[in-house]
Amino acid sequence: MAQAVRVLALFAHPDDAEFLCAGTLAHLASRGAELSLVTLTSGDCGSAVLPAEKISRIRQKEAERSARMVGATYACLGEKDLSIFYDRPTLRKVMELVRRVSPSLVMTHPPADYMVDHETTSRLAQTACFGAMAPNYRTRARSAAKPLRAVPHLYYAEPFGGRDVLGQEVRSTTYVDISATFVRKEQMLACHESQQAWLQAQQNVSENFGVVRQMAARAGQLSGFQWAEGFRQHLGQGFPQDNLLASLLGNLVRPEARLTSC
C-alpha cells in the first residue's frame, strides 16, 4: 500500500471480530493498513458467575490483547449487552467514531444474524457510513470530527454458522484466503479465554476453535481455498461500487467458486 489504508472493524461484542474476520484483518495489517477494532459493548453479560463490572474489565483487556496481535487499536463505545438500540444517542456515537477514524473500509455484522445486538450494530454501521459525509448531521461530541469526504466501503461478515436468523444459508460474494493467517486468527480468539465457559453454558458451544474451523472450512469449500472468510459488500445507492478488499488483497480474494461435478 502506497498510503496506509484505514480499516474499521466495528462489532457488537469482544471476540466477534475474531470469529468473523481476524484472518482478513491480519492480511490487511501485514500490508500496512491502520486497524481500529471497536465494539459497541464490553461484553458485560458474558458470564454466568462474575458480576457485570468484573467481566467487562476482563473482556476489554482480552480484546486489547487480541487487537495488539495485528497492531490494531481497541475501543469500546460503552453500550450494554442485549441493549444495543438504533436510537439517536447510539447513532451519534457510531457516527462520531466513523468520522474520527475516517476509514476507507468498514467491516461489521451482517444485516440478518442470530441475535439483535449484531443486527442493530450492522444497521448503525450502515447509517454511519452513509451519513458520515453529511455536515448537517451533528454528533454533539465535545471535539466533533469533521464529516468525511467519501462514503467508506462497507463489508458484512458472514453470520455465525453461515445462516441467518431463520436458518437460511447465506452465501458470501467475496472470499478471502486465510490459510496463511489462520493460526493468527486462532491466537487472537485464544485471548478471549473468559468466553469458553460462557459459550458452553449459554449456546452449547463446546469448543471455540471448532466453530472457527467449521466456518473457515465451509467458506474455503465455497471459494476453493483451504481456509477462508466470507463477506458481502454493501452496494446500495451512494456506496462505492468497486471491490476495495479485492484491490488490497489481490489473489487472496475470489468470489464463490462455480464448481461443477464430472
Number of Cβ within 10 Å of residue 22's Cβ equals: 30
Using pLDDT thresholds of 50, 70 and 90, give the confidence band for residue 262. very low
Query: Which one is the CATH code of 6-254: 1.25.40.10, 3.40.50.850, 3.60.15.10, 3.40.50.10320?
Result: 3.40.50.10320
Span of 120-124, 132-136, 193-197, 250-254 with lowest mean pLDDT:
193-197
Inform me whether the pLDDT recorded for 1 exceeds 50.
no
**Which tens digits make up the pLDDT trace of 138-157?**
999 999 999 999 999 999 99
Nearest residue to 232 (alpha-carbon basis) of 95, 86, 94, 109: 109
166 half-sphere exposure, CB direction, 13 A CA radius: 4
**Which tens digits make up the pLDDT trace of 182-192?**
999 999 999 99
State the pTM of this model: 0.94
**Which tens digits make up the pLDDT trace of 55-88?**
999 999 999 999 999 999 999 999 999 999 999 9
All 3 cell numbers of residue 238? Answer: 451512494
- How is residue 252 annotated by DSSP? G
∠ Cα 225 68 131 (to 5°): 80
Three-state DSSP state, 134: coil
Using pLDDT thresholds of 50, 70 and 90, give the confidence band for residue 209. confident
Alpha-carbon distance 262 to 243, whole Å? 32
Span of 35-44, 138-147, 202-211 with lowest mean pLDDT:
202-211
H or E segment at 202? helix 195-203
The confidence score (pLDDT) of residue 202 equals 56
Which residues make Cβ contacts (< 8 Å) with residue 142, sequence separation at least 6? Answer: none
